[in-house]
Amino acid sequence: MTTDSGVKPGGSGSGGDVADAGGLPAGWVRATIGELCDVNPRGFDEELDDDELISQVPMASVEAETGRMDASTQIRYGDFKKKSLTRFQEDDVLFAKITPCMENGKIAKARGLAGGRALGSTEFHVLRSRGAVLPEYMMHFLLQRQVRRAAEHHMTGAVGQRRVPRPYLAELEIPVPPLAEQHRIVAKLDDQLAYIEMGEGSLGIAGTKGKNFLQAVLHDALRGKLVSEDLSEGDAQDLVRDSAALNEGPWDIPDGWRWTTIGSLFKVAVGSTPSRGNSAYWGGNVPWVSSGEVSFARISSTRESITVDSITNPETRIHPPGTVMIAMIGEGRTRGQAAILDIPAAHNQNCASIRVSETAIVPEFVYYFLMARYEETRKEASGGNQPALNKGKVQNLEIPIPPLGTQRNIVARVQELEEDLRGLGEAVTDGWARASRLRNTLLHAAFTGALVPQDPDDEPAFVLLDRIRAQRSSAVRPAGRKRAPRTTVPAAPQASGRLVPSGTQEALPL
């Protein structure tokens, strides 16, 4: 059976537990988002005065996968109304359409907006319910991992600028329960998801404490406070030439240590990328490191390899094991990260290689130094659109050099503590994975009718949809008048401890 609106109803039965052939519980229907919502409405239901304050919501203000957003920033409407920004209002659902924000789950219900209105990123699709679906229900549906994965396959555009097109979102079909059941589902989801988020919060705290502990260890190590001085292999003067030594550095170090610079001790080189158009340069037996692979790790294999013939740039060479790498460019957290080569390898122009193994210095000591100095190193970057380090900045990094025996003891102690922390890290990673699985299991139950019981007294969803459709078809708005503000979907009234069926409510004005 198909209703007047074209939606497909679920089965019917006195117990409310009979599903249709498509697996829907009784009283449910399948409908497209375009049937349920205005997709990217032209603006606000009612225009504002220029002096009114509204919220500003850039993409960064929408959290990933939580449905939350920060609407605390306020702007004067008149100062921004002519800019190309997305208009939305209280209870609208925001759906980030661009990669990687969509895949990351930047989807939220607009709430807490100043004056009930906001201007936001142009990379949002806006969904405004016509009354048959709760915004919270729609938001949770879109937050499902499988929904976002399906949307990813329908994105269009160039790499890095791919977007979910409006027609795909408008034609996306979703299961719609009776309105009263939607209220029960949303209430149950909010209750259960709160427990999951509490657990995720604890995992985040544990992970942060682990990282902070390691940073504290490295802080002490580089100031001579982690291990006792070991002069069994000579002092630091044997490692740092007088001409390369600095009189002082950024912090105090033991008397037997020396300050110097990376460039004074080691050869530093940047790489290059062989021409992608020359097949003779790629797929050889020389491992080739990209900056994305330099991520505080040991590198024993690479995603790509090149041929010896491709090494035509004097700066590009095959570096020996024990070379310490540092990433010089990267929009995210890449810039400033380090790695150690366990294999001979070349690398691209976005990395610098520090050939520590050609000296007596312990490579792991330099690696841990760069790890400890990560945040400060990132700030050394310069440039407009994409700040970056360069060879000169890497060479000028000041580094404290302990006696060789002390270096070995520092590295051994840090590695021992890292091993202790590895168990914590694995437990945290496992916890995040379990929380993600639990979240998706919960959402799947919600949208298959398994999360809360059905009530045979609930008004079937298709009845409300047909009524709204009929009202929209017959509504005639006088020309020149402002559109009346849309009212929010009312909460289902309660009686005797349970929700009253939605059939007792008046249809929403549209």
Q: How many whole angstroms separate alpha carbon 429 and alpha carbon 497?
A: 41
- The radius of gyration computed from the CA coordinates of the chain, to the nearest angstrom, equals 30
Segment 191-198 shows an average pLDDT of: 93
Q: How many whole angstroms separate alpha carbon 210 and alpha carbon 229?
A: 27
* Global confidence as pTM: 0.67
Q: How many whole angstroms separate alpha carbon 453 and alpha carbon 26?
A: 11
Q: What residues have CB less than 8 Å from 65, skipping those under 6 apart?
A: 104, 105, 143, 439
Name the phi and psi angles at 355, rounded to 5.
-80, 70
Residue 491 is given by DSSP the state P
pLDDT at 140: 96
Is the separation of the CB atoms in 53 and 91 below 8 Å?
no
Q: What residues have CB less than 8 Å from 82, skipping those under 6 apart?
A: none
pLDDT at 14: 29
Q: How many whole angstroms separate alpha carbon 137 and alpha carbon 107?
A: 12
Is the separation of the CB atoms in 55 and 74 below 8 Å?
yes
Residue type, 29: V
109-164 per-position pLDDT tens digit = 999 999 999 999 999 999 999 999 999 999 999 999 999 999 999 999 987 789 99
pLDDT at 386: 75
Convert 209-247 to b/e letters by CB count within 10 Å (16 or more is b).
Answer: ebeeebeebbeebbebebbeebeeeebbeebbeeeeeee
pLDDT at 9: 57
Q: Are strands 494-495 and 398-401 parallel, antiparallel or unpaired?
A: unpaired
Measured CA angle at 397 (ends 395, 402), to 5 deg: 110
- Bond before 100 cis per omega within 30 degrees: yes
Percent of the chain with pLDDT over 70: 87
Is the separation of the CB atoms in 188 and 446 below 8 Å?
yes
Helices H, strands E: what count in the chain? Answer: 13, 23
pLDDT at 369 over 50: yes
Which residues of 130-205 form beta strands (DSSP E)?
Answer: 173-176
Q: How many whole angstroms separate alpha carbon 446 and alpha carbon 138?
A: 12
Query: Dihedral through CA 406, CA 357, CA 387, CA 300, nearest 10?
Result: -110
Q: Are strands 282-289 and 304-306 parallel, antiparallel or unpaired?
A: antiparallel
pLDDT at 123: 95
Segment 100-114 shows an average pLDDT of: 95
pLDDT at 199 over 60: yes
Is the separation of the CB atoms in 57 and 183 below 8 Å?
no
Comparing 6 with 498, which gets the higher pLDDT?
Answer: 6
Q: How many whole angstroms separate alpha carbon 218 and alpha carbon 99?
A: 36
Strands of the sheet with 268-270, listed across from one edge:
268-270, 351-354, 324-327, 338-341, 297-299
Residue type, 234: G
Residue 91 is given by DSSP the state T
pLDDT at 174 over 80: yes
Paired strand residues for 39: 127
Convert 248-284 to b/e letters by CB count within 10 Å (16 or more is b).
Answer: eeeeebeeebbbbbbbbbbebbbbbbbeeeeeebbeb
- How would residue 347 be classed by pLDDT, with cut points 50, 70 and 90? very high
pLDDT at 47 over 90: no
pLDDT at 108 over 80: yes
428-473 per-position pLDDT tens digit = 999 999 998 999 899 999 999 999 999 999 999 999 999 988 888 8
- The mean predicted confidence, pLDDT, of the chain is 87
229-270 per-position pLDDT tens digit = 999 999 998 899 877 889 899 999 999 999 999 999 999 999
Q: What residues have CB less than 8 Å from 224, skipping those under 6 apart?
A: 253, 254, 257, 402, 406
- How would residue 16 be classed by pLDDT, with cut points 50, 70 and 90? very low
**How is 332-360 classified by DSSP, letter by letter?**
SS-TT-EEEESS-BEE-TTEEEE-GGGSS
Which residues of 227-307 form beta strands (DSSP E)?
Answer: 258-261, 268-270, 282-289, 297-299, 304-306
